[in-house]
Amino acid sequence: MCSAWRVQILALVAVRCLGVSSQTSNDVIVMTRKGPIAGLRVHNPKTGASYDAFLGIPYGKTPKRFQLAVPPDPWTPLLKTQTDGPTCPQGDRSVTEDCLYLNVFTPVGTSTNKSSKLSVMVFVHGGAFKSGSSTSLIFGPDFLVSKDVILVAMNYRLGALGFATLGTKKAPGNLGLTDILLSLRWVQDEIAAFGGDPTSVTLFGQSAGAILTQQLYLSRQTKGLFVGAISQSGTAANELGHVTKKEGERRTKVLAKHLGCDVTLDDSQVLKCLQQANVSDILARQNNINLPLKDLVAGSNGLTFLPVLDCYQTADRPIFDDSLDTLIAQAASRGRPLMDGWNTEEGVVKFQLDDYWKQAEANLDYFIPRKRQNSASNTTKAALAEAIRQRFFPHTPDLNKVVSLVKLYTEKLFICPSIKTSRKLSNITYGYIYSFHGGWSIPRNKFPYPIITVAHGDELPYLFYTALVNQPMDTCSVNRPNLQVNADMVRWWTTFAKTGSPGPDWMPLSEGKYRKIDSPISTKDVQEVEEEHYKFCEAIEQCQSLT
């Protein structure tokens, strides 16, 4: 979920909290390995859903800032797990750093049925790596749990607290990723007590959560922790979803300098200073890092602290132990199924976050991939920039320019990275294109131009019951398409979690079709999609002639 929604989220959550949106009843007791917990039984009269909810279960603790989390200490008294755990520090909210909590939702009575072994779906929220949470008010389980799966959603450390790195074993970076890894190990240890099957776990995420999901999908450390993954609007191949170790260290030391640390000292002293800094000061200064203008224009949206792909040079147990291309090739041989896709106008998110898009048309060479920026000659870069101009800006009126920019950002940030990954995993990847212009959209009212869009995050209300948008359940004619897409998506996602395939009529990309999620549903040829998008992106990446 993009951070631009945060004010809207807080307002809508406040409204929903004031109303009676659900009814709760007696405690539901589960004995975990760490101690007993008391969840609650919920009935939502609006959706008709009933389920057991266990909110704010501790899955980790951090001995010290910037250190790997460890499992929590055991407890003896009954622990009430009936409210969401604290959100990890973000934005201007100086909240507790004790934030490693997760939610578990099960069908009614599953935890008391000793023979129950339901498939488990573990969700990773988005938020540009610096905001968001697993709150049940936004990611309600009503739809998914109705299909006899268990839903788990965790908080993980964000921003500098989750992704800063000094390139040392004591501060290697990727703590947000290792938090998610720890939550997956918690699922392996504990989910059977809730009626879940630890051998049937699917990891799924959206936006930054989808990037993190795919990065863990590629990591050898996750062997045995989940059997399949779903990435919605985000892939590991997105070059703005990670940084090099060198760049990660630079950004961390700039932050340290802003906090008054002496960065000329050795790294252990810099780390000590960062650990002693006030968390509110870190939050206030973590975005004051000078990012390259080309990254800001090309779509980084102020993504300052990110996963570090080459931290394997220093970490004891690295998330990534080889290059991205090698990890993708290895994933193909492991055979874990993957669902991956994008929304047709994802690029609208760029207009919601900053004004750097206004500089895009004058700096089209910034859209050449990073790894080619330094190696290509000025003549080649000029030719590639002109090719981009001819593709996206054949007209000059303002509205056409906006439409072109939306297409450019959608292709650069979402479509091409998705195709780059999935075409190497085509035998085990089920691809989709979400194009439904429905009535449950979240961010559309944030886009200041009169064009119809299917934007970043539009699919989420069709999987989760959420405070972000009105989701009428009535079957009047105007609402039937919403209900149908909701039913289709929940069926496909949960069937994938149970079987490794979204259904017998949805084939892997190697069979030549994307599923186009719309009303009515349809398919689109892989070859057509690649001709429309990837051929151009590949030529740009390889600095090849486009004539």
Q: What is the pLDDT of residues 493-503, one digit of tens each?
A: 999 999 999 99
172 versus 428: the higher-pLDDT residue is 428
Residue 509 falls inside a structural domain: yes
In this predicted structure, which of 40-54, 60-74, 320-334, 422-436 has the lowest mean pLDDT? 320-334
Structure tokens at 311: 């931290």
Residue 82 has pLDDT above 70, yes or no: yes
- pLDDT of 322 reads 86
- pLDDT of 20 reads 34
* Total count of domains within the chain: 1
Query: What are the residue numbers of the active site?
Result: 207, 346
Listed in sequence order, the residues at least 6 apart from 425 whose beta carbon sits closer than 8 Å to its beta carbon are 328, 331, 332, 338
Residue 465 has pLDDT above 90, yes or no: yes
Residue 241 falls inside a structural domain: yes
Q: Residue 17 sits in which domain range?
A: 1-356+412-446+453-547
- pLDDT of 297 reads 66
- pLDDT of 26 reads 80
What share of the chain has pLDDT > 70, as a percent?
A: 86
Domain CATH number, residue 477: 3.40.50.1820
pTM of the model: 0.91
Q: Are 441 and 466 within 8 A, CB to CB?
A: no
Residue 234 falls inside a structural domain: yes
Q: 3-state SS of 452-515?
A: CCCCCCCCHHHCCECCCCCCCCCCCCCCHHHHHHHHHHHHHHHHHHHHCCCCCCCCCHHHCEEE
Residue 7 falls inside a structural domain: yes
Residue 8 falls inside a structural domain: yes
CA 437 to mean position of chain CA atoms: 22
pLDDT averaged over every residue in the chain? 88
pLDDT tens figures, 511-534 = 999 999 999 999 999 999 988 888
475 versus 458: the higher-pLDDT residue is 458
Residue 405 falls inside a structural domain: no
pLDDT tens figures, 233-256 = 999 998 889 998 999 999 999 999
pLDDT tens figures, 419-460 = 999 999 999 999 999 999 988 987 555 566 666 789 999 999
Residue 63 falls inside a structural domain: yes
Residue 278 falls inside a structural domain: yes
Please compute the mean of the pLDDT values over residues 352-359 and round it to a whole number. 69
